[in-house]
Amino acid sequence: MAMSFHFHPLAASRVHFSPLPFAAAAGAPSPSSSVAIAAHHQHGRRRFSAIVATAAAASAATTEFDFKAYMGERAVAVNRALDAAVPAGEPPAALHDAMRYALLAGGKRVRPALCLAACAVVGGPEPWAMPAAAAVEMVHTMSLVHDDLPCMDDDDLRRGKPTCHVVYGEPIAVLAGDALLSLSFHHMASVGSYPPDVDPEKHPARVVRAIGELARCIGSEGLVAGQVVDLEMTGTSETVPLERLEYIHLHKTAALLEASVVIGAIIGGGTDEQIERLRKYARSIGLLFQVVDDILDVTKSSEELGKTAGKDLASDKTTYPKLLGLEKSREFAEELLSDAVEQLACFDKEKAAPLLHLANYIAHRQN
């Protein structure tokens, strides 16, 4: 329901002010950042510098947390799970090769990390969420493979490498996407995907609910819906209204980020209240992810980004900087980060550190 044809609540409430209880609760030097924020609040909106201060304060509260090591370890574990999920060389070899080519092409594995972190923040054993973490990466990869197709965005390069259809041909690329999609559900539903020391059959209701979340974020309420509206808008001469732009991003980007977090929380045994808090967190970072992408596209060189910079402008795609201007886009990013961080206040500080740092990473990444 939540994702279906509703616009992001933040789009309608962009001017409201959210306090930053997490930073305060963290026992960090919150007075200074609070004062800074209050000053900006008097202008009716907050400044990017305030958020940077907040993030720094939050970071200071968890100085022991090594984000880079955290992400690196998760990426290794997720890559191992993905590698094991698709047999190399087994027939039909072309299909498995194409699936592996797309799936193991690198990437930061942000979605799996969100899934694992959400499982842990509600107190679940992290390994329980590994099949779900692998599944969300399979779904993400599948959507990239199909979106890159000649009949869609017709992209020849992805992460600096030739796209799946360029290497394996269009029919195999379509079929590899289909196979990855079904594999994601098979992986979540199979006892064999889970580590031997956990027993997913103890909690089949969680698995059913998580599968429902994953399925919902793909089709006509998620990724596919976003791509359909994106295709309709590309190359059109009319100005795309902000609501439509957000519809596209909420479906193409935020839906799967939301599902990644929510599925992790479900598998970890989160309460309904915890799951809904984390859903709000995920929606904010989902939109944040896209806003930052758009900002980077106009402020960074191609070399820094590892992809063609300014492509969105060149192809006449509607972006946040184009619609709001660069400064207002940055302010919107600030608010989204703040809203996300706010949702983490009720969780154990230490357990929430990965999700906090993931939000900061998404806001402040340089490519």
Chain residues that interact with its own copies, rule: CB under 8 A: 5, 86, 90-92, 94-96, 99, 142, 146, 149, 151-152, 169-172, 174-175, 177-183, 185-186, 189-190, 201, 204-205, 207-209, 211-212, 214-216, 218-220, 222-225, 227-229, 231-232
Per the CB < 8 A criterion, the answer to whether 57 and 28 are in contact is yes
> Nearest distance from residue 221's CB to its own copies, in Å?
8
Closer residue to its own copies, CB minimum distance, 134 or 341:
134
- Chain center to CA of 303: 23
> Which residues are registered as beta bridge partners of 157?
162
Per the CB < 8 A criterion, the answer to whether 102 and 175 are in contact is no
Closer residue to its own copies, CB minimum distance, 58 or 136:
136
Per the CB < 8 A criterion, the answer to whether 86 and 99 are in contact is yes
> Nearest distance from residue 5's CB to its own copies, in Å?
6
Per the CB < 8 A criterion, the answer to whether 3 and 216 are in contact is yes
Closer residue to its own copies, CB minimum distance, 10 or 180:
180
Closer residue to its own copies, CB minimum distance, 27 or 92:
92
Closer residue to its own copies, CB minimum distance, 15 or 205:
205
> Nearest distance from residue 74's CB to its own copies, in Å?
25
Burial of 15 (0-12, 13-18, 19+ CB in 10 A): exposed
Closer residue to its own copies, CB minimum distance, 214 or 261:
214
> Nearest distance from residue 208's CB to its own copies, in Å?
5
> Nearest distance from residue 357's CB to its own copies, in Å?
31
Sign of CA dihedral 260, 261, 266, 272: negative
Closer residue to its own copies, CB minimum distance, 115 or 183:
183
∠ Cα 360 338 309 (to 5°): 50
> Nearest distance from residue 246's CB to its own copies, in Å?
14
> Nearest distance from residue 80's CB to its own copies, in Å?
19
